[in-house]
Structure 1
Amino acid sequence: MPANESVAWNDLQSHAYYMSQSHISTLFREETDRFSLYTFEQNKFLLDLSKQRITEETLALLIKLAEEKGLQQWIQKLFDGDHVNDSEDRPALHTALRTPADRILSINDKNIIDEVHSNLSRMEEIVERIHSGQWRGFTGHSIDTVVNIGVGGSDLGPFMACKALAENQADTAKSLKIHFVSSMDGSQLAELLSELNPARTLFVISSKSFTTIDTLANAQTAKEWLKKSSYAASEETLISRHFIGVSANPDKVCEWGIPKSNQLEFWDWTGGRYSMWSTIGLPIALKLGMSGFREFLNGAHEMDEHFRNAAFSENLPVLLAMAGIWNINFLNINAHAILPYDGRLSHIPAYLEQLEMESNGKSVDRQGNNVDYKTCPILWGEVGTNAQHAFYQLLHQGTEAVMCDFIVAARRYHDTNNPELQHQHQLNLANCLAQSRILALGDSVLEGAESAPAFKRYKGNQPCTTIMLDELNPFSFGQLIALYEHKVFVQSVIWDINPFDQWGVELGKKVATSLLDALGTERKQPDFDSSTNGLINRITERGE
């Protein structure tokens, strides 16, 4: 049954008619202790929904909707390895990647938990070789630079995590520099190669299929750079000492030239945007050391267990997801700002853009029918203190209704004796709390604001969620990312869509390939639409 034909959906529509007339500031006056009513915690991880336009009735109806849509059964299917990715006929087992070694999960008569930990052990060997200086380049010098070449999930997740957890870098990795390359036009790589020592540089080629044109083009450029830099070394030697392949397609990795000894594997049941828990997370492990990487996995597993077992009324991913459903489908809010108040989390908006919009940016349900309700909103964001000087004008006084997630760590610099840094963190916290307060409550927080001219008024009523970590470390960061992964899954269940495929990105790749002949040296006569033909001709004219 379509989501919008359920009893709870209809009840929520009736409820929304009244709630849409209300203001969050009024809700705070009516319920003076909203914080205790609408704040939920799990192992020092706090979710504050008190600045959402909700009441206890709203939450009860949303939970009823989740129950009517069979959410508990879908959660069980996800963890049991059922083929929840039905369009590709396979499971989605990213949760298995962070499951402890003593568990058993059989898929096709194999305990995949054993396979996961076998790959982690293989990754640990590589990390230790690099950290100890035993991995040596073609001149015999130890590696001091790693370049991760990937795109999408093979880039965004590891890049974000390495940035977020830089302060947790392992002592054995202090001298190791880690870079990320993803752009197809070669600009990132060209600029980077001009600064690197080929004898000390190791390339990690990360691609699930190992057929991604963007990634392989950059990998080929890196190979040619090494060959030009080391005329005395054979190509086989260069590849064996300077390339690692991470893929679910080992045959293609071998075909490219990377030997089995330099390969790390993962599986087709690991979606790209869910893959940094796997060997795709090699750069994270190189940054943190394997103990830090395992803490990252442990944090995610902690959230997995909470998601799997907690009652919906206390379940952080479920509550975060259902608050989003309320905003999108009943209050008609289709814009979502991600606002981390921590420079270390500067890449989390981009990561969540992919995680949510590639997963739930769908208009066809699991039965192949076009949906007649909204699904994933448009996400964007920036570090909060930067965003305050950019798009907060729209949030405060624009015409768009926007839901906002504020992400912050309560503690930082608490183990230093530097009062200036401690003051800066307090300043950051003050800005985070002030902005969420004004966005939700408007200028009702100021005495006499009603007498100000219209252009100075702050209307408020923008629903805000605050996610507060005790402090940012590998464990809490794992909790945070798993929270959002499960939020995406819950919303997909409500909308009855498959969040684990991404057919919307495939056609562009195919059409781009078909255009290469028209742009190549042979310059075959184009036969496309008039705009594309005209642009190709103009490019050709200017290239002559």
Structure 2
Amino acid sequence: MKYNNFDKLTAYKRLLDLVPRGKGFDFVSQLTAERVRKAVVPLAAGFTYSWAAKAVDDPVIEALQALADEQELIEKYQALIDGETMNTGENRKVLHHLLRGQLGKPVLHEGKNLGEFYAHELDRFSAFADAVHAGKIRGSTGKAFTTAVQIGIGGSDLGPRALYLALENWAAAEGKGHLQAKFISNVDPDDASQIVARCTLEETIFVLVSKSGTTQETLANELFVKDKLTKAGLDPSKHMVAVTSETSPLAHNPAYLDSFYIDDFIGGRYSSTSAVGGVILSLAFGPKVFKELLAGAHKADKNALEPKVLANAALLDALIGVWERNFLGYPYTAVLPYSQALSRFPAHLQQLDMESNGKGVNREGLPLAYSTGPVVFGEPGTNGQHSFYQLLHQGTDVVPLQFVGFIESQRGDDVEVDGSVSQTKLKANLAAQIVAFAKGKTDSNRNKEFLGGRPSSLIYGKRLTPQALGALLAHFENKVMFQGFVWNINSFDQEGVQLGKVLTKKVLAAKAGGNSGDSALDAYSEILGI
């Protein structure tokens, strides 16, 4: 395989020649009923990816296929699956796909079969969750646990929190709920204080998540919680488990009921299908539900190996995103789920995409002459319609949109008003927005005119279930991966988060006496009362 900057490829030049077709795509005439029915690709777990309202036609699709082939995207994905070192910045494998099932040859590291290691940890925390549900593991006063609280930040919070909220209604409808879950992430003491105040501490188990065992915010919140437990007359070691690496200070530590392990080959933002998400979701909904989520993710991972773009939803989604970012010049994208259950999913995708592909150098550390990852934001519909859709419809920037919708609600609890139930109104809004963004509206009053030409995709399925959620998660992970391969960047490190941490330590060290060595830093510290 060759790793080339994509502006050196033959397919890049071919796509440049096609830019007028995208810029001049006529949504009014070309977004027909026939196109809506035909411009679809099966995803996994009952999902379909629709690209009908994207500014692409057959010549663009053919050029995107040529780009995928020339940049060897499927071959690079297979190499990642087979355990080659794909995180060049940290000289590590990238193995989050292996958490949900084998797709290639066994992956070995220093004599350890990593697939077996991940499966063993899945078995261990599944058995732990079952024991908690059965009342075999209880708090220090002998009461059964009714609440689980995850303490973590970044990938240890955003993904697991988004997945928990996504399944909360489904679990209530299906009778799958066990423990209520809550999350503490921010080092702001008001976050931990508010959550702890809402818990009955003797019935609460805390899940401390830090791969390194040294994350400043997480350890500060751990001590906050332990202080509250101790002051309540409880033994913290009977109310806390750790999710960490086997080499961290939290591993094999009697201060915790148990410790469950991941390794350096599982990046934080890709860790929701490891023990990072698995422990809290298994405590909340049961291990079987978490394993259904893994099964859905595995199906999407398998589908992503298909070399033809019109049969591979993640690959097509990624390539259309590259077309919009690098050739049509759109620097943003909005994720708009028409499902309240996915209220925090855009926040997770924000980290997944922007932390992975927010890079200005290639895999070898050389500066790039083209744009990489977009700015990602979003909120659920219909709330967003009454917030930032004004700019999306009539602002000066075109923002490509990614809609997600479902035929059925999770609970099925609804009421008819003015001739339709709320779920029908939700879907009507979704259909209307896609067409409104694409086709716009002419009006003699320019203030009421909609220029249209706003491209969007739609991922739709029957109902948001654990399998569907797993497939949706994996779809976006694989989309981000493919785009990183196109841009020839390392999507699996995050050096951009480190500088702030270093300066924070300088500020805190200077508090004990002296200065940080940076007068501006000292001045800001002074006005903030540090």
Q: TM-score range by the shorter chain?
A: over 0.9
> What residue number does 1:168 align with?
170
Which range moves more in the overlay, 476-485 or 247-256? Answer: 247-256
| Alignment counterpart, residue 224 of structure 1, candidates 224, 227, 235 | 227
2:215 — aligned with what?
212
In structure 2, what is the Cα distance between the partners aligned to 1:257 and 1:393? 55
1:269 aligns with 2:265: yes
Alpha-carbon distance change, 536 to 14 in structure 1, aligned in 2, over 3 angstroms: same
Structure-1 separation of matches of 2:280 and 2:420 = 30
- Tell me by how many angstroms 1:227 deviates: 1.3
> CA contact under 8 A between 1:169 and 1:287: conserved in structure 2?
no
Give the whole-Å Cα distance in 1 for the aligned partners of 2:325 and 2:515.
47
Identify, as 1 or 2, the structure richer in helix.
1
Structure 1 partner of 2:483: 491
8 Å Cα contact 1:364-1:371 kept in structure 2: yes
8 Å contact from structure 2 (residues 50, 457) kept in 1: yes
Show the counterpart of 1:524: 514
Match of 2:526, as an amino acid? Answer: N
**CA offsets, 1:282-305, max 9 Å, x none?**
111122211111100000000111
Cα offset for 1:413?
Answer: 6.0
Q: CA deviation at 1:280?
A: 0.8
Deviation at 1:130, TM superposition (A): 1.5
Q: For the Cα contact (< 8 Å) 2:94–2:267, is it kept in 1?
A: yes
Letter in 1 for 2:39: Y
| Equivalence for 2:296 | 299
TM-score, with length taken from structure 1: 0.91
Q: Which amino acid aligns with 2:299?
A: E
Whether the 8 Å contact between 2:434 and 2:456 is mirrored in structure 1 is yes
Q: What is the match of residue 25 of structure 2?
A: 22
Distance 2:21 2:189 in 1: 54
Supply the AA of the counterpart residue of 1:426.
T
Aligned equivalent of 1:119: 121
Residues 11 and 473 (structure 1), Cα distance of their counterparts in 2 relative to 1, 3 Å cut? same
Give the CA RMSD over aligned residues: 2.2
Report if aligned partners of 1:362, 1:376 keep a CA contact under 8 Å in 2. yes
Kept in 1, the 8 Å contact 2:315–2:482? The answer is yes
- Once residues 339 and 429 of structure 1 are traced to their aligned partners in structure 2, the CA distance between those partners, rounded to angstroms, is 13
What is the one-letter code of the residue matched to 2:262?
F
Provide Cα deviations, 1:89-128, integer angstroms capped at 9, x if missing partner. 1111101000069984434433222211111111111111
8 Å Cα contact 1:403-1:463 kept in structure 2: yes
1:435 paired residue among 425, 430, 433: 433
Greater displacement, 105-114 / 216-225: 105-114
CA distance 1:247–1:414, shift in 2 (3 Å): closer
Taking the TM superposition and a 5 Å limit, the aligned residue runs for 1:265-344 are 265-281=261-277, 282-309=279-306, 311-344=308-341
Q: Secondary structure of the residue that 1:211 maps to in structure 2? A: coil
Alignment-mate amino acid for residue 171 of structure 2: Q
8 Å CA contact 2:346, 2:379 repeated in 1:
yes
Amino acid at match of 2:334: A
Task: Measure the CA separation in 2 of the matches of 1:433 and 1:321.
Answer: 23
Alpha-carbon shift at residue 416 of structure 1 (Å): 6.1
Q: For the residues of structure 2 that align with 1:184 and 1:537, how far apart are their CA atoms?
A: 20
- Describe the superposition over 1:489-527 as per-residue Cα deviations: whole angstroms up to 9, x where unpaired: 110011000000001111111110111023x3x343454
Distance 1:417 1:178, change over 3 A: closer
From 461, 466, 481, the equivalent of 2:473 is: 481
Aligned CA distance change for structure 1 residues 78 and 175 (closer, same or farther; 3 Å): closer
The letter of the residue matching 1:292 is V
**Per-residue deviation, 1:528:** 1.4
Question: For residue 247 of structure 1, what is the aligned residue in structure 2?
Answer: 244
1:40 is the counterpart of 2:41: yes
Structure 1 residues 283-292 or 146-155, which shifts more? Answer: 283-292
Corresponding residue of 1:452: 444
Can you list the C-alpha shifts for 1:245-298, whole angstroms capped at 9, x where unaligned?
001144410487535x61000111000011111111211112221111110000
Distance 1:195 1:225, change over 3 A: same
Give 1:228 shift.
Answer: 1.4
CA distance in 1 between counterparts of 2:106 and 2:153 reads 32
Q: What is the deviation of 1:415? A: 5.7
SS of corresponding position for 2:205: strand
Instruction: Describe the shift of the 1:251–1:11 C-alpha distance in structure 2 as closer, same or farther (beyond 3 A).
Output: closer
| Native 8 Å contact 2:506 2:516 kept in 1 | no
Pairs aligned (count): 523
Structure 1 contact 131–172 (Cα < 8 Å) conserved: no
- Which runs of 5 or more structure 1 residues have no equivalent in the other structure? 444-449
Could you tell me the TM-score, scaled by structure 2's length? 0.94
Match of 1:368 among 365, 368, 372: 365
Distance of aligned partners of 1:287 and 1:169 in 2 relative to their CA distance in 1, 3 Å threshold: farther
AA in 1 matched with 2:41: F
Counterpart of 2:407 in structure 1 is: 410
Query: After the TM superposition, which of the residue ranges 336-345 and 140-149 deviates more from structure 2?
Result: 140-149
Question: How many angstroms apart in 2 are the aligned matches of 1:92 and 1:239?
Answer: 34
Kindly indicate whether the alpha-carbon contact (under 8 Å) linking 2:178 and 2:286 is maintained by their aligned counterparts in 1. Answer: no
Asked if the contact 1:340/1:407 (under 8 Å) is kept, the reply is yes
- 1:414 deviation in Å? 8.5
Tell me what 2:503 maps to: 511
Deviation at 1:538, TM superposition (A): 2.8
Q: Which amino acid aligns with 1:322?
A: L
Mapped pair 1:8 → 2:14: no
SS class of match (2:249): helix
Answer yes or no: is the 8 Å Cα contact 1:250–1:265 preserved in 2. no
Identity of aligned residues (%): 31
CA distance in 2, matches of 1:525, 1:510: 14
Residue 199 in structure 1 maps to residue 202 in structure 2: yes
CA displacement, residues 420-459 of structure 1 (integer Å, 9 cap, x when unaligned): 697100000000110111001112xxxxxx3431110011
Structure-1 separation of matches of 2:414 and 2:433: 29
Give the C-alpha shift of residue 76 in structure 1.
Answer: 1.1
Cα distance change of structure 1 residues 173 and 244 upon mapping to structure 2, 3 Å threshold: farther
* CA offsets 1:321-347 (integer angstroms, 9 cap, x no match): 001001000000111111010100000
SS in 2 for 1:338: strand
* Aligned mates of 1:74, 1:301 — CA distance in 2: 18
Partner residue, 2:189: 186
CA distance in 2, matches of 1:287, 1:422: 34
Distance, in Å, in 1 between the alignment partners of 2:168 and 2:503 is 39
| Counterpart AA for 1:98 | R
**Closer/same/farther in 2, CA of residues 369 and 149 from structure 1, 3 Å limit:** same
Q: Counterpart of 2:440 in 1: which secondary structure?
A: helix
| Letter matched to residue 397 of structure 1 | Q
